[in-house]
Every structure is written in C-alpha cells, then in structure tokens.
C-alpha cells in the first residue's frame, strides 16, 4: 500500500463532532483524465492510495457518510470500471474506484462557491494520452495549415451562465465550437483544434497551453453572457488588455466573472497559473498580436451583426486569462445573453448556432486572407475546386 497524499481540510474543532455527508457525486470524462466530484456538507480529512492487481484507487474519508449513490454514475467510462464503498474502520468511509489502467490520482478540495458546496475532486490522470496529444500536434505542424484553436467556454463542474429555461452556457459554447471547427476543417489551408471536446472542465491556463502545444495561429474563445435584467441582449467581442487598459467597468466585471471559472470548475493548484505572466515576449511582438486581435474582433462583430442583435458595436478590452496566448490573435466572443428568454431560445436552436459559427468562420477566413496567409479564393477541401 503506497500512501500518495494526506490532505488536511481546514476545519474548526467544533465541527469535528458532526459527520460530513456526501450529498451528491458526479463524473466528468475528459480525454486525458476522468474526474469524480463529491459534494460535501463540510470540509473533510482524507487519504488516497493505490492498490494493484486489480488496479484500484482508494479514498478513505474521515467522519463521513455516503448519502449519494454511485449507481447513478454513468459507468463504466474509459478509465473507471466501478465505484464501491464500505466502512473499513469506525468513522471511516472508504470509496474504492476500480480502474481499467494504471492512473495517477490527483485530489483536492474546493471551497463553497456560487451555490456549489464544499467539494472533493478526484482526478484520475491517464499518462499516455498526453503523449498522443503531443504527437498529433506535431503532425499538424508539419502540414503547414493555418491552425485555429476553438475554445468552448466552461464545461463539466462549471456550467457557466444558466438561462431562465435552464440552458447552460457550457452546452451552447460546445455546440457552436464544434460547428465552427467543422467549417474550418472543410476549408483548404485551415485546420481547427478543439480545446474542449466534451462536457468536462479545462482550467484557463491549460486552454492557453493546449493552443500553444497545437501551434495555433489564432484563438477563439466562445461564451454567452448573462445579466439580471432579462431584456438585455446582443453579442459582444473582447480582446486582451494589458494591465490598466480595460475599456470600462462592465468589461472588467465580465473578465472577473469569466476568470472565476477555475474556482467553479475546479483547477488543481499546479494548473492555476497566469499565462500572461509566465510568458515574456518582446513589446513589439505583443503589440502586433494585440493589434491583429483588434482587427479580427472588428471583423467578427461585422459578421455577427448579420445574425442578430449587438450589445456593443465596437470590440472591448479586458484582462481575460484565457486570452493569454499573447503571440497569436485571440478574441473572446459573447454570442448573446442567455439570461434573455428570447435569446436563450435562439441559442438553443441548431440553425442559429450554425449561423453564429458561420459568422465566426467567415471573419477568421477573411482575416487570414487579409494577412496574406490564405489564398483569396481558397477552395473547399471536399467541394468543387474554385479557381
């Protein structure tokens, strides 16, 4: 038995007497890991270790009892075969996760935030998939296509904004991102990389790192906004501002809201970084990318105007962590207000999603044409050749 980690939850003495209860559990499957999230009534002390033959990960939680049922988890997933539980000693709840391959467990506690309770996050990391991703990325580099990183905001534990009829921002952003990616992939000379491919959370810093690893030439981060006043509607487009150059208070508040994703979605400490600080670039290089981002943002607004209402007619600037790839043009698009019932209905509609994706695609293609990176009448890969 190898003890991998002992984490002490911050817990006042008076709380020790009361048992913690696990009220709910959720499973999110990402390409490189599976994540089990336990909702707790209070913070806990726990231990994690691995056992072999057969492979399993064991979590012993002190003074806890299970109210949620593992039977509701959609199992098996690519990593987890089954989740069992028992009481090996008085006052200890043991969760046993049967896994299909050797995984590296990574666990951490999350404090209550935006309606979410104390949570224990158990990530089971698959070592091999990281290598595969790197190989795929280097293959793409060799092809010399223009690579666009398409980033669907939020995911997994982090639903993003939620509409009055229950539509989640994470669902809309993924649907539009997939449509945009397939338009890009059909274009000769362009290729898309989806930063998030399913319903799981990707920390903000990791989104930037994935774009870099794929040698992306552009980053489009897709979101939908929300506000208490339900009549508010329309799209807006944002670029990165350097410290102190935020357009206005509203843009600053939006960036703070989007930047909080790591705390809601659950980013392990080693993945909470500020890519803008860690990457040092020459001033001219950076200014060039910021100018390009501005040009791209203007093109996107011009196209999006044809699909529906516009909230702000000019691109705004704020300090979004996800736009930290300073070396490439990067924009964050708020498609519309999901808090507006009429716009929520539109955002749910597949043909409207397709129109939004087309607008973003047209703007990106025009941008690269203007930069001389793409032939003016580039043909479709699978369509008839246009000369």
Q: Smallest distance, Å, CB 277 to Zn ion?
A: 22
Distance in Å, CB of 223 to Zn ion, minimum: 3
Q: Count of CB atoms within 10 A of residue 50's CB?
A: 18
Q: How many residues contact Zn ion, by CB under 5 A?
A: 4
Question: Which region among 56-64, 183-191, 219-227, 266-274 touches Zn ion (by CB under 5 A)?
Answer: 219-227
CB neighbour list of residue 366: distance below 8 Å, 6 or more residues apart: 299
Residue 254 CB, nearest approach to Zn ion (Å): 9
Q: How far is the CB of 130 from Zn ion (least distance, A)?
A: 26
**At its nearest, how many Å lie between Zn ion and the CB of residue 168?**
11
**From the CB of 222, what's the least distance to Zn ion, in Å?**
8
Choice between 48 and 267, CB closer to Zn ion: 267
CB closer to Zn ion, 157 vs 217: 157
Looking at the Cβ atoms of 156 and 160, the one nearer to Zn ion is: 160
Q: Which is nearer to Zn ion, 160 or 329 (CB)?
A: 160
**Shortest approach of Zn ion to residue 224 CB, angstroms?**
7
Distance, in Å, from the CA atom of 237 to the CA atom of 349, rounded to the nearest integer, reads 21
With CB atoms as reference, the residue minimizing the distance to Zn ion is 223
CB closer to Zn ion out of 201 and 368: 201
Indicate the residue among 199 and 258 with the shorter CB distance to Zn ion: 258
Q: Which is nearer to Zn ion, 118 or 340 (CB)?
A: 340
Q: How far is the CB of 281 from Zn ion (least distance, A)?
A: 26
Q: Which is nearer to Zn ion, 337 or 368 (CB)?
A: 337
Site string for Zn ion, 136-175 (x = CB under 5 A): -----------------x------x---------------
Q: Quick one: 160 or 205, whose CB is closer to Zn ion?
A: 160
Q: How far apart are CA 218 and CA 224, in angstroms?
A: 20
- We find the least distance from the C-beta atom of residue 41 to Zn ion, in angstroms, to be 29
Question: Taking contact as CB under 5 A, which single stretch among the options 54-62, 105-113, 119-127, 221-229 is the one that binds Zn ion?
Answer: 221-229
Nearer to Zn ion, 134 or 253 (CB): 253
Interface pattern 245-284 for Zn ion (x via CB under 5 A): -------------x--------------------------
Using CA atoms, how far apart are residues 224 and 307, in angstroms rounded to an integer?
A: 15
Binding to Zn ion, residues 73-132 (CB under 5 A) = none
Options 223, 299, 303, 346; binder of Zn ion; rule CB under 5 A: 223
Site string for Zn ion, 283-322 (x = CB under 5 A): ----------------------------------------
Q: How far is the CB of 269 from Zn ion (least distance, A)?
A: 23
Spatial strand order of the sheet with 80-86 comes to: 2-7, 46-51, 56-62, 92-99, 80-86
Question: How far is Cα 243 from Cα 285, in angstroms, rounded to an integer?
Answer: 17
Beta strands at 146-152 and 218-225: parallel, antiparallel or unpaired: parallel
Binding-site ranges for Zn ion (CB under 5 A): 153, 160, 223, 258
């Amino acid at each position: 038995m190898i003890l991998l980690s002992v984490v002490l939850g911050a817990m006042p003495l008076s709380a020790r007497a009361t048992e913690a209860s696990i009220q709910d559990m959720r499973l999110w499957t990402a390409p490189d890991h599976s994540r089990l999230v336990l909702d707790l009534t209070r913070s806990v002390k726990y231990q994690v270790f691995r056992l072999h033959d057969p492979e399993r990960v064991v979590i012993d939680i002190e003074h806890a009892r299970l109210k949620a049922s593992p039977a509701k988890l959609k199992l098996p997933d690519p990593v987890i075969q089954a989740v069992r539980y028992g009481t090996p000693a008085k006052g200890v709840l043991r969760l046993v996760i049967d896994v299909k391959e050797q995984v590296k467990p990574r666990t951490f506690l999350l404090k209550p935030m935006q309606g979410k309770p104390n949570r224990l996050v158990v990530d089971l990391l698959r070592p091999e998939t990281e290598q595969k991703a790197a190989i795929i990325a280097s293959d793409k580099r060799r092809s010399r296509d223009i690579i666009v990183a398409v980033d669907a905001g939020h995911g997994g534990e982090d639903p993003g904004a939620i509409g009055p009829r229950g539509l989640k921002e994470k669902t809309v952003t993924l649907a539009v991102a997939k449509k945009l990616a397939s338009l890009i992939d059909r274009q000769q000379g362009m290729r898309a990389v989806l930063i998030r491919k399913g319903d799981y959370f990707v920390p903000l810093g990791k989104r930037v790192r994935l774009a870099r690893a794929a040698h992306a030439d552009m980053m489009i981060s897709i979101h939908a906004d929300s506000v208490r006043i339900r009549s508010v509607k329309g799209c807006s487009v944002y670029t990165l501002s350097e410290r102190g150059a935020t357009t206005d208070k509203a843009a600053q508040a939006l960036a703070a809201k989007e930047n909080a994703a790591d705390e809601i979605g659950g980013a392990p400490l080693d993945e909470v970084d500020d890519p803008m600080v860690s990457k040092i670039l020459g001033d001219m290089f950076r200014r060039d990318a910021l100018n390009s981002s501005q040009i791209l943002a203007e093109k996107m607004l011009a196209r999006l105007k044809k699909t529906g209402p516009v909230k702000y007619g000019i691109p705004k600037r704020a300090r979004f962590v996800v736009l930290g790839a300073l070396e490439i043009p990067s924009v964050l698009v708020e498609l519309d207000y999901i808090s507006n019932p009429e716009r929520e209905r539109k955002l749910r509609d597949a043909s409207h999603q397709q129109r939004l994706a087309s607008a973003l695609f047209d703007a990106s293609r025009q941008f690269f044409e203007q930069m001389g990176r793409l032939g003016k009448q580039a043909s479709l890969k699978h369509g008839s050749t246009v000369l």
